[in-house]
Structure 1
Amino acid sequence: MSTSTHRAWLEAELFRLLEFGRDVAHPRGGAAVLGDRGEPLLEQPVHLWITARMVHVYAIGSLLGVPGCRPLAEDVARGLRTTLADDEHGGWFSAVGADGRPVGEAKSCYDHAFALLAGSTAAVAGLDGADALLERAQAVFLERFWDDAAGMCVDTIDRDWTTVDPYRGINGNMHAVEAMMAATDATGDVAWARRAGRVAGRVATVAAAHDWRIPEHYDAGWTPLPEHNRDRPADPFKPYGATVGHGLEWARLLLQVEATLGHEAPPGLADAATRLFDRAVTDGWAPDGAPGFVYTTDWSGTPVVRQRMHWVAAEAGAAAAALARRTGDPAYEAWYARSWDYIEGHLIDRDGGSWWHELDPENRPAAGTWSGKPDLYHAVQATLLPRLPLAPSIAAAVASGLLEG
């Protein structure tokens, strides 16, 4: 992880990933879903989460000085002002179809967290229109999704903001933590990072109470719903059981919250990060004999969905790097190397580009939960996070010249 040769390898992989998405801008505005070879699938809806992630990715590319990234980021961001924007009620639609109509009208924390992240990164990169985008994203997120009494975010609201769904979820809150820390770095308003700290502290507490397997689903009073979606165990956003990759992702985020808030951080975040990581790799790595992390387990640690998702391996490498940096324990260096060996051996598609998003239990390309290669966010961040300090967030750190290599 610390060698100049490895840092150069990560940089080369980053450039390869950025090249894969060069055709991502949808002619209607926003980001197209990308196929196996990077071809834009224009018949598919334009999604808010993909659009916002691609703005984030290519705005970082702009900060790195990669030619073509700035105009591409600005072109994709146009969809956040036009195609996906709900000008009548505010906020953004989750997706818009080829006919220009919303695909479902509910508005989600998950999607709007990525809009906040995109606005923050775009503002740090100085993209055209970024300040207005960030202002809008902050206002909508704070007014509609942040529940100050609970210190958590609500999950889903109807289009005109009149009815809040009683479901509460960890996935949207997890990405809100990342976005809120980025918002602090973009604006200087530490209140965003303090909100992230409240979420992180609560998640660490509930994880400790469940043997470090994080309950993902809750009712309106934040009582866990351990059987939620038992009939849809492979759901891409709200699967049944414990999500191995989220244990890894939270391990990294807890360390980043600690580094961001310093003495204001909730106590015990570093210990919680180590326990989350250890639980995730114990339950998730190669439980059926084949290398790779399974998608989900039940509450005893038995695998439920054995597919291997690309984002889980990406988060394993990023979490291991964060823990190695924070603790100095060489065991995390070993996990970091194991994660990248797996990524290189099974996930990176040297022929078609990018990474296979899903593999079956025998590590063959599959499409049970994900089809195509729509998402560069996890893979790109996996090439950057090991070369950055734990704070500030990625865009601010790159802008400050803190990227190693």
Structure 2
Amino acid sequence: MGKYELDSAENREFLLGLRDNLLSFGHRFPSPGGGSYYLGDDGTPWTDRPRETWITSRMCHVYSMGAMLGHEGSGALAAAALKGLMGELHDHENGGWYAGLTAENQVLPNKACYAHAFVILAGSSAMLAGISGGKKLLEDALRIYDKYFWDEKLGLSVDTWNTQFTELDSYRGLNANMHTVEAFLAAADATGDEKYRVRAGRIIDHVLGWARDNDWRIPEHYLSDWTPDLECNKEKPDDQFKPYGATPGHGIEWARLITQWAVSSFGQPDDETDAIGVTSKAIPEGKFTDYIEAAECLYNRAISDAWNADGAPGICYTTGWDGKPIVHDRMHWTLAEAINTSAVLYRVTWNDKYLNDYAAFMEYLDTYVVDHVNGSWFHQLDRNNKLLTTVWPGKSDIYHALQATLIPYNAKVGVSIAKAIELGD
């Protein structure tokens, strides 16, 4: 059991091995222009697929952290991805970033908030890692995001523009806003500009309002006036980015981001010995407590609905509004977030439930999700934990998995992971 127990020497060694495996697995991602190839089952680039901005940004982020961690070759790999973001994937005429380029170098249409949030994350990490051009990338990404995606009046982000930034789609969504919270927290930590942390809190307050009204199952999709669209994609329930119903993995991920934001906003340490940003093992009264309790509600609702919910281990991809599984597939990113959030909630609440959850997730990871032959993690399994490729063929990138080897041992819960690496333990 020690191998799966948080803070055990065996678990630290296990995650260190996974981390090194993941960073080695992704080495072949860069195209000649720097855009990230989609990686296949054994890490071979699938050169016939588009080179997308969101994947390239994720690779810039993870290899920037790899450089700070001393993984050989990571600095050059981060620089290659940054080259792609500043070069072939950047729209020099209209500003911002293309969704991607086809194998024939044709532009994929539209400008997505989701991708631009990841460019902010990439720029933040590259700047902290000292990658040449990282600071400029971050400055450009924040400027474009502030101009086109952030709605200051509402305190939320819009979703999709056309390529020329002249027509805004009517769809509004929380997936992009969730990664915006991640990006804003990273930008605040990297630059010291606290307005981005404040913005993250405004998004979080909206999300918690919707979640409370829906028994802690977060509506994902909205009309242009931010009315929840609970029936969106009912005919395509396993959509890659806009699945129907509740997405337990997002409830789990929101719980971690809310905890990070709350600790950084309300739980600053009083002295250098307070590593996690909480002054004692007793959670303080007031707003901080309210946000941590809300994060626990989101996490526990998602785990109750989706973990081991259908007779086999694993977390179901989606549920209906009654909490019953709809898409039973297990996605690797959902497990990664469960690993992260259980560890983070334990470090803030000291509730052994989260410690036990973490151990269960670790055992499941080792048994079913880690590819012990070809490396990395299987991205999609069916309800019987057999490999499935209908939504996520291959192993596109290493972002979620790599973060799950780092966040559980981030001693500074309120600090974004790249900044925490820079600061050291």
TM-score, normalising length: structure 1: 0.97
Aligned to 1:353: 375
Q: Which amino acid aligns with 2:249?
A: G
Specify every segment of 5 or more residues in structure 2 that has no aligned partner in the other structure, as ranges.
Answer: 1-5, 269-286
- 8 Å CA contact 1:391, 1:397 repeated in 2: no
- CA distance, structure 2, for counterparts of residue 127 and residue 29 of structure 1: 14
- CA distance, structure 1, for counterparts of residue 419 and residue 307 of structure 2: 33
Aligned to 1:393: 416
Q: CA RMSD of the aligned region, Å?
A: 1.2
Q: Indicate whether 1:299 and 2:304 are aligned.
A: no
Equivalences for 1:161-310 in 2 at 5 Å? 161-262=165-266, 268-310=290-332
- CA distance, structure 1, for counterparts of residue 394 and residue 349 of structure 2: 37
The Cα offsets for residues 191-232 of structure 1, whole Å up to 9 and x where unpaired, read as: 011101111111112101100000000111111000001111
Q: Which amino acid aligns with 2:63?
A: Y
- 8 Å CA contact 2:53, 2:89 repeated in 1: yes
Q: Indicate whether 1:362 and 2:384 are aligned.
A: yes
- CA distance, structure 1, for counterparts of residue 289 and residue 83 of structure 2: 41
Aligned to 1:54: 59
- CA distance, structure 1, for counterparts of residue 59 and residue 319 of structure 2: 30
Match of 1:4 among 9, 21, 46: 9
- 8 Å CA contact 2:26, 2:397 repeated in 1: no
Q: Indicate whether 1:374 and 2:391 are aligned.
A: no
Match of 1:68 among 69, 73, 90: 73
The Cα offsets for residues 20-57 of structure 1, whole Å up to 9 and x where unpaired, read as: 00111112321110000000111111011100000000
Q: Which amino acid aligns with 1:392?
A: V
Task: Report % sequence identity.
Answer: 44
Corresponding residue SS for 1:296: coil
- 8 Å CA contact 2:259, 2:414 repeated in 1: no
- Post-superposition offset of 1:267: 7.0
Match of 1:40 among 31, 45, 56: 45
- 8 Å CA contact 2:254, 2:295 repeated in 1: yes
Q: Indicate whether 1:92 and 2:97 are aligned.
A: yes
- Post-superposition offset of 1:266: 7.4
- CA distance, structure 1, for counterparts of residue 292 and residue 166 of structure 2: 39
Equivalences for 1:12-23 in 2 at 5 Å? 12-23=17-28
The Cα offsets for residues 325-355 of structure 1, whole Å up to 9 and x where unpaired, read as: 1100000000011111111100000101100
- CA distance, structure 2, for counterparts of residue 317 and residue 99 of structure 1: 39
- Post-superposition offset of 1:66: 1.2
- CA distance, structure 2, for counterparts of residue 160 and residue 187 of structure 1: 29
- CA distance, structure 2, for counterparts of residue 41 and residue 77 of structure 1: 20
- Post-superposition offset of 1:158: 1.1
- Post-superposition offset of 1:390: 1.0
Aligned to 1:328: 350
Aligned to 2:278: none
- CA distance, structure 2, for counterparts of residue 98 and residue 291 of structure 1: 38
Corresponding residue SS for 1:268: helix
Q: Which amino acid aligns with 1:377?
A: Y
Aligned to 1:316: 338
Q: Quick check: 62-71 or 267-276, which moved more? A: 267-276
Aligned to 2:118: 114
Specify every segment of 5 or more residues in structure 1 that has no aligned partner in the other structure, as ranges.
Answer: none
Q: Quick check: 261-270 or 328-337, which moved more? A: 261-270
- Post-superposition offset of 1:263: 6.7
Q: Indicate whether 1:25 and 2:30 are aligned.
A: yes
- CA distance, structure 1, for counterparts of residue 267 and residue 336 of structure 2: 29
Give the number of aligned pairs: 401
